[in-house]
Homo-oligomer: A and B are copies of this chain.
Amino acid sequence: MGIEFRLSVLAERIGAILQGEDAVVTGVASIGEAGPDQVTFLASHKFARLAIGTKASAIVARSRVEGSGAAFLLSDDPVLAFARLVELFHPPARRPSGISGSASVHQGARLGKDVSVAPFAVIEDGAAIGDRTVVFPGVFVGEGVSVGDDCVLHPNVVIYHGVRLGSRVILHAGCVIGADGFGYVPSPEGLRKIPQVGTVEIGDDVEIGANTAVDRAALGVTRIGRGTKIDNLVQVAHNVVIGTDTAIAAQAGISGSVRIGNRVMIGGQAGLAGHIEVEDGIMLGAKTGVAGTLKSSESRAWSGTPAIPHPAWLKMSALLPKIPDLFRRVRNLEERIKMKGEE
């Protein structure tokens, strides 16, 4: 609202080169929806025709598109440059700092500078909240929890006792960190609960999506490494250890004691069986079901249930619809062979 920039200023701020008229722009939009005073971007020149039809003033792109009337902000990494540009138009909204009189903050909790605690948030005894951290309404921060600086805890987030969060962590609404792991042992009286007495540690710059659950360890620590991003409705079971800069898409499920490396990418609805390892840099396709340890030396990309290297899965799955025909062909062969045998 009211924010505007000259393209030359934007170019400088995002490290791009301006080619074209130095217009004033007032916002960002997708290439199909941008109006005449907005900036857009072209992720790939596969979609170059969109650059010709757009009404945008300017396009962040790797190189000019012939026939487009827009100015260009040229960058080697247009998506990253555009992400920076979006931030300029949409600086993160600051909630007012201070503790709402309608929050419940235990006198034994320690709050940093400029913390914002909204109505109906609860911060229990021994919890520590870092500087400038924002606690939205309905959030529960249990006993002895530690939250770093500049975190955002969206509405109705629940953090069970003793969990530790780094700085700049974002937890989206409804996510639950540190609930008991699913651990029982058969006994004469039925399934007996194994007390879950470990905790959870979440590194700096982690973001976790809405309604995702990260369970506390049975013993020891469930750990999510620095910079890792987790989408909505993901299950992270007890004693899982996830490395740094890993991305996990929505509804994936990670069973107990799984170890996931750094820069791993896990597709939506993928599932990992317990006590296995996924090495650094591996990519799992959506819906993949992983039953055993995956080594990057064997394949970088895996798909299917049970998981096999992605290229093999592509070949196999393309043939599945032809299996009824294969059965027919084998039956034909058997009949031919039988006929020949009887000749």
Chain A interface residues toward B at CB < 8 A = 28-30, 33, 77, 79-80, 82-83, 86-87, 89-90, 92-93, 100, 102, 104, 118-120, 122, 136-138, 140, 143, 154-156, 158, 160-161, 170, 172-174, 176, 179-180, 182, 184-187, 190-195, 197, 205, 207, 209-211, 213, 215, 219-220, 226-227, 229, 231-233, 235, 237, 244-245, 247, 249-251, 253, 255, 268-269, 271, 273, 286-287, 289, 304-306, 308, 312-313, 315-317, 319-324, 326-327, 329-330, 333-334, 336-337, 340-341
Contacts and interface: CB of A to CB of B under 8 A. Distances in A.
Contact of A182 (B136, B192, B226, B249): B249
A214 B241 CA distance: 28
Given A90-B197, A219-B30, A245-B191, A140 B156 contact: yes
Given A120-B120, A244-B190, A330-B333, A83 B229 contact: no
Contacts of A184: 229, 247
16 contacts: A33-B219, A83-B185, A83-B195, A136-B140, A174-B211, A179-B232, A209-B213, A232-B235, A235-B250, A253-B269, A273-B286, A286-B289, A308-B320, A323-B323, A329-B330, A330-B330
A271 to B, nearest CB: 5
Contacts of A232: 176, 179, 182, 213, 215, 235
Contacts of A205: 190
Nearest to A322: B327
A298 B176 CA distance: 40
Contacts of A137: 104, 122, 140
B86 A195 contact: yes
A313 B185 CA distance: 27
A194 B233 contact: no
Nearest to A41: B219
Contacts of A287: 271, 289, 305
A194 B319 contact: no
Contacts of A269: 253, 269, 271, 289
Contacts of A251: 235, 251, 253, 271
Contact of A235 (B87, B233, B334): B233
Contact of A176 (B122, B211, B244): B211
Contacts of A315: 324
Contacts of A319: 323-324, 327
Given A182-B209, A321-B308, A327-B319, A233 B231 contact: no
Contact of A179 (B29, B173, B286, B326): B173
Contacts of A324: 312, 315-316, 319
Contacts of A215: 210, 232
A247 B182 CA distance: 9
A80 B323 CA distance: 42
A105 to B, nearest CB: 10
B172 A180 contact: yes
Given A90-B197, A156-B156, A250 B192 contact: no
A192 B120 contact: no
Given A193-B83, A269-B271, A337-B333, A316 B323 contact: yes
